[in-house]
Structure 1
Amino acid sequence: MRVALYCPLKHPDHPVPSGDRRMARQILAALRKAGHQAEVACRFGSRDGRGDPARQVRIARTGTALGHALARRYARRPAAAAARPEAWITYHLYHKAPDHLGPVVAAALDIPYLVIEASDAPKRATGPWETGFRAARHALAAADLVMPMTRLDAVCLARLLPPERLRLLPPFLDDIGVFQAARTGRDQARARLAAMAGLDPARPWLLAVGMMRAGDKLDSYRVIGRMLADPALATAPLHLLVAGDGPARTDVMAALEPAGGGRVHFLGALAPAPLAAAMAASDILVWPAVREAYGMALLEAQAAGLPVVAGRTGGVPDVVEDGVTGLLAPPEDAAALAALTRRLIDDQGTRARLAAAAAGRASARDLAAAAAALDDALLRAACNHAARRPRSTEETR
């Protein structure tokens, strides 16, 4: 099937690293693995992060006009020439980044319309994001199938959609083999990293992975700073390795180094293979996950056989099973994170049990599983679309 993918929040080809962009690229890869011809439909972004109603109206007008223009362009292409899409998928829409194109194009071409990763926030029905909220609701109503990626979003969306138009798509990894391979070479990776960064292999190694930018990521690093200063960890002989970089690097260093006491080591931004090696070499991944959707690094760490201590926020429980593959603390609770981390530092048996379970559970979140799920979703969307299509006068006689 020929599939057009649209990402109203962040274009997948943008050079700035982002978990959102990465998931968009993984969806393209999964569609192609399933045998579909998938391409990005448009670069137009609809995000309004300031809550500016006038700007949202302008975005809506531009997006709708682009949708009509794109539909006309597609319609001029021969349907059998591998050029006209047979389905439209929009990845990640919500009130700050609604989809103005998908409903227009899908209706004009009479093709199934799918939405992957959506959320609904009724408290935004009035106020500065009212226009975006209404546009997001319109897109959800038009969709033949909506695939939230967390159970939390699924519960919210179930209030709007019937069960046959709602299906969960768990977060997945397209390069899971890189992390699995690193797990088998843990001892060598630990020795290399110890020599390179001057680390003591006998000490427990904590690892934090996250972009260094203002907002939620910086807030997570600040929670880690408070966690390190907590009595449970303040004097513990440990190493904290930090993988990530970005415009807020100075602020991140200021948040971590005072409580680090020389225990914090910055690795910079790492490509997948070095990151996988750092994960496999470490003992515990720590991440507060402040307002995190679900956290790609949490899934990667588990694929590398690394147990996780994280904040119980958003869709994190969909990725980290509390007490099975990691331990979850209340949101932004530095003391609770410190206590759970100390528990795993002191209990190697529990740490090993969580690590083994983490690797096993993550193995089911690979590209093949996602490809099968998306292939089935396209079939379901097509069936729903046919059932929802208004019948002609001849058909009703």
Structure 2
Amino acid sequence: MKIAFHAPLKSPDHPVPSGDRQMARMLIEALCLAGHEIVIASDLRTFSRDASEAAFAALCSEAEREIVRLRELWRREGPPEAWFCYHPYYKAPDLLGPRLSAEFSIPYITAESSYSYRRNTGAWRLAQDEVAAGARQAAVNICFTHRDREGLQEATPSARYAMLAPFIDVSPFRELRRTKVDECRLFAVAMMRSGDKMDSYRMLARALTLVVDLPWRLTVVGDGPARAEVHEIFTGLPAERLEWRGEVEPQAIPGILADGDLYVWPGCGEAYGLSYLEAEAAGMPVVAQRTAGVPEVVRDEETGLLTPAGDVEAFAAAIRRLLSDEALRVQFGGRARHFVFEERSLPAAAARLGEILSEFVGMGR
């Protein structure tokens, strides 16, 4: 089937890497693997950092022009057989798909749509209304976490839902070679920006000061506008304990993670966190908080340890436990790798997407 794919937050072709762009690209790969032809319908980005009725009106005008373009294109060349929207939410609603799907009588599908009543303030409500209307119209809303499904279902109980677990392409992790060293190597991969990422960096730095008596070395992969502030946060730790790798190409991540022993990232506000799955695929156990969507990708006491949200001492104690028990680290790391390869791989996601589209849209191979 020919599917028009749209990601209103960030197009798969956007030049700036992020987890959102990565997941959009992997969804396209999974859909292709499931036997469908994918066309990126539009690069229109409807992201708004701040609530503003004027900004929303401007986006709607831009969307109207894009609808006119796509309508003319489809009338000439024929419409797709479905519209697939990835990650519509209050800061980036889909202003194209619902209109065009209704006009051309094709199924509308969402993936990782999210809705929260606490965002129904000011101009955000305008975008939230678009998200809710899209969810009600959708042939199916594909949810990656139970948290997202519960929030969306509360707003649109009559809509149709299916679950798809977060996944990654495991092929780059199959043939990894580790370099053995004496000290325990800790890893964290994250952009350096304000908000939840900065909160996680602060929590990690505070926790590591509580385990400085043990031998370890932390490698941080990532960069961003808050780089100077992040570096400042870690000045209380010995400089020789820290390695700053900066931004690296996505294809380099598996090789970098291959030398890790323990992945330590609090995950404040994480939707789920693809970096956790990548660390697990590399055979690393994870220490994170039991918050937001993190439990969807890390299994407590199986592939890592999850601690109460905001509890720095508990987070540090979990790091200490795994730093002090190499056998447990190896056991958790083996389970983590098996978990991702068997349950969270691209082929597994493709099979699940095939089932969902067959059931809700009637799209077989």
TM, length-normalised to structure 1: 0.86
Letter in 2 for 1:136: V
Q: How many Å apart are 1:36 and its aligned residue? A: 1.1
Q: How many Å apart are 1:273 and its aligned residue? A: 4.9
Alignment of 1:287-306 (within 5 A): 287-306=265-284
Q: How many Å apart are 1:164 and its aligned residue? A: 7.7
Letter in 2 for 1:244: G
Aligned partners of 1:234 and 1:67: how far apart in 2? 57
Aligned partners of 2:133 and 2:314: how far apart in 1? 41
Q: How many Å apart are 1:376 and its aligned residue? A: 2.4
Q: Give 5+ residue unaligned stretches, structure 1.
A: 192-200, 385-397
Partner of 2:43: 43
The answer to whether 1:281 aligns with 2:276 is no
Aligned partners of 1:334 and 1:260: how far apart in 2? 19
Q: Give 5+ residue unaligned stretches, structure 2.
A: none
Q: How many Å apart are 1:155 and its aligned residue? A: 1.8
Aligned partners of 2:30 and 2:294: how far apart in 1? 22
Aligned partners of 1:24 and 1:60: how far apart in 2? 23
The answer to whether 1:310 aligns with 2:288 is yes
Q: Which has the larger radius of gyration?
A: 1
Aligned partners of 1:305 and 1:163: how far apart in 2? 41
Letter in 1 for 2:70: L
Q: 1:282 to 1:27 in 2, by over 3 A?
A: same
Q: How many Å apart are 1:46 and its aligned residue? A: 1.1
Partner of 1:325: 303
Q: How many Å apart are 1:68 and its aligned residue? A: 4.4
Partner of 1:67: 67
Which residue, 237, 259, 271 being the options, matches 2:237?
Answer: 259
Letter in 2 for 1:169: L
Which residue, 332, 336, 356 being the options, matches 1:354?
Answer: 332
Which residue, 289, 297, 321 being the options, matches 1:343?
Answer: 321
Aligned partners of 1:304 and 1:272: how far apart in 2? 14
**Do the aligned residues in 1 keep the contact of 2:136 with 2:159 (CA within 8 Å)?**
no
**Do the aligned residues in 2 keep the contact of 1:57 with 1:131 (CA within 8 Å)?**
no
Aligned partners of 1:355 and 1:43: how far apart in 2? 39
Partner of 1:208: 188
**Do the aligned residues in 2 keep the contact of 1:207 with 1:285 (CA within 8 Å)?**
yes
Q: How many Å apart are 1:318 and its aligned residue? A: 0.3
Letter in 1 for 2:221: A
Letter in 2 for 1:91: Y
Q: How many Å apart are 1:161 and its aligned residue? A: 4.7
Aligned partners of 2:192 and 2:264: how far apart in 1? 15
**Do the aligned residues in 2 keep the contact of 1:227 with 1:338 (CA within 8 Å)?**
yes
Aligned partners of 1:246 and 1:49: how far apart in 2? 17
Secondary structure of 1:38 counterpart: strand
The answer to whether 1:180 aligns with 2:158 is no
Residue deviations 1:291-348 (CA, integer Å, cap 9, x gap): 1111111000101110000122211100001111111122233222111000011122
Aligned partners of 2:158 and 2:56: how far apart in 1? 31
**Do the aligned residues in 1 keep the contact of 2:185 with 2:260 (CA within 8 Å)?**
yes
Secondary structure of 2:154 counterpart: coil
Partner of 1:390: none
Aligned partners of 2:258 and 2:202: how far apart in 1? 25
Partner of 2:82: 87
Aligned partners of 1:38 and 1:6: how far apart in 2? 10
Which residue, 91, 95, 98 being the options, matches 1:100?
Answer: 95
Residue deviations 1:173-192 (CA, integer Å, cap 9, x gap): 12x1212321xx22xxx25x
Partner of 1:250: 228
Letter in 2 for 1:60: C
Aligned partners of 1:90 and 1:100: how far apart in 2? 10
Partner of 1:157: 152
Letter in 2 for 1:259: L
Secondary structure of 1:12 counterpart: coil
Aligned partners of 1:291 and 1:260: how far apart in 2? 28
Aligned partners of 2:225 and 2:116: how far apart in 1? 30
**Do the aligned residues in 2 keep the contact of 1:239 with 1:264 (CA within 8 Å)?**
yes
**Do the aligned residues in 1 keep the contact of 2:214 with 2:323 (CA within 8 Å)?**
no
Q: How many Å apart are 1:383 and its aligned residue? A: 4.5
Q: How many Å apart are 1:51 and its aligned residue? A: 1.1
Partner of 2:361: 382
Letter in 1 for 2:58: R
Q: 1:52 to 1:317 in 2, by over 3 A?
A: same
Secondary structure of 2:309 counterpart: coil
Partner of 2:114: 119
**Do the aligned residues in 2 keep the contact of 1:52 with 1:128 (CA within 8 Å)?**
yes
Q: How many Å apart are 1:359 and its aligned residue? A: 0.8
Q: How many Å apart are 1:53 and its aligned residue? A: 2.2
**Do the aligned residues in 1 keep the contact of 2:262 with 2:287 (CA within 8 Å)?**
yes
Partner of 1:392: none
- Percent identity over the alignment? 39
The answer to whether 1:367 aligns with 2:346 is yes
